[in-house]
Amino acid sequence: MEPIEKPTIGSIVAENYKAATVFQKYGIDFCCKGNRTIEEACVSKGLNTEEVETEVLKATEEKTSAETDFNHWPLDALTDYITHRHHRYVGDKIPELTAYLRKVSSVHGERHPELEEIERLFSETAGELTVHMKKEELMLFPFIKRMALASRGEASKMEPVFGTVQNPIEMMMQEHADEGERFEKISVLSNGYSVPADGCTTYRVTYAMLKDFEEDLHQHIHLENNILFPKAVELEKQLR
């Protein structure tokens, strides 16, 4: 008898977003590293697999409302949601966080040299994410929306200039992985966004904003890697 294939973390969250709360609690990356099973993730972090699986099961027992069940949203609606909710959030927060990090680093950097590295890493994230989102909004998302409309008979099919939708998707997923690694470094450098005893109010606000930014980025990447992109690849196959 062949062993039963276990679901990946990404597919679990895609099926029921409430599982994300459990994975966040244990520091398990469900977006950039969502292709692992719970067991694989737990082994890598030294966690009790049975305990985590039990909590995930408990968290997902309640039914998910249609409003937040992104796994069943039309792809054109999902691309619009990602653009207006997550892309806009990133665009709004980048200049604000950049200014806060510059201020905190200039005031506390001598006693806390890690702040300079955090500022540098976030600057890289700001530049890369800005370009990344533009590529999605100008090329990938319009094509996915066109496929969604074509599948409902509301538009004609269109051949992509990039050959197949898998090509830009692979590029976007690699860029997601890069951002995931960058924020992992920021989290380690900041000791999980723990403000030192001599940290001022601005220090606390900065770390709280960084943590929120990372959490939003995880949800953002999850929606694309685990829901939008696999469904777009499958839809393209159906249309062809």
User: Structure pTM?
Assistant: 0.78
Q: What is the pLDDT of residue 159?
A: 80
Does residue 145 contact residue 75 with C-beta atoms inside 8 Å? yes
Q: Is the pLDDT higher at 232 or at 23?
A: 232
Per DSSP, 26 falls in state: T
Q: In the structure, how many helices (H) and strands (E) does the chain have?
A: 11, 0
Does residue 130 contact residue 166 with C-beta atoms inside 8 Å? no
CA angle 162, 167, 171 (to 5 degrees): 120
Neighbours of 114 (CB within 10 A): 16
Farthest CA pair distance, the chain: 64
Q: What is the pLDDT of residue 76?
A: 95
Predicted confidence (pLDDT) per residue in 90-99, tens digit:
999 999 999 9
- Cα–Cα distance between 105 and 121 in angstroms, integer? 13
Average pLDDT over residues 100-107: 94
| Mean pLDDT score of the chain | 90
Q: What is the pLDDT of residue 3?
A: 53
Predicted confidence (pLDDT) per residue in 24-42, tens digit:
889 888 877 888 999 999 9
Average pLDDT over residues 174-194: 95
Predicted confidence (pLDDT) per residue in 122-155, tens digit:
999 999 999 999 999 999 999 999 999 999 898 8
Q: What is the pLDDT of residue 1?
A: 42
Q: What is the pLDDT of residue 231?
A: 96
Q: What is the pLDDT of residue 30?
A: 82
Predicted confidence (pLDDT) per residue in 187-228, tens digit:
999 999 999 999 888 899 899 999 999 999 999 999 999 999
Q: What is the pLDDT of residue 60?
A: 77
Contacts of residue 13, defined as CB under 8 A and 6 or more positions apart, other chains included, come to 19, 20, 23, 30, 34, 222, 226
Res. 66: pLDDT tops 50:
no
Res. 121: pLDDT tops 50:
yes
- For residue 68, name the pLDDT band (cuts at 50, 70, 90): low
Q: What is the pLDDT of residue 233?
A: 96
Q: What is the pLDDT of residue 67?
A: 47
- Cα–Cα distance between 2 and 182 in angstroms, integer? 39
Q: What is the pLDDT of residue 206?
A: 92
Does residue 139 contact residue 145 with C-beta atoms inside 8 Å? no
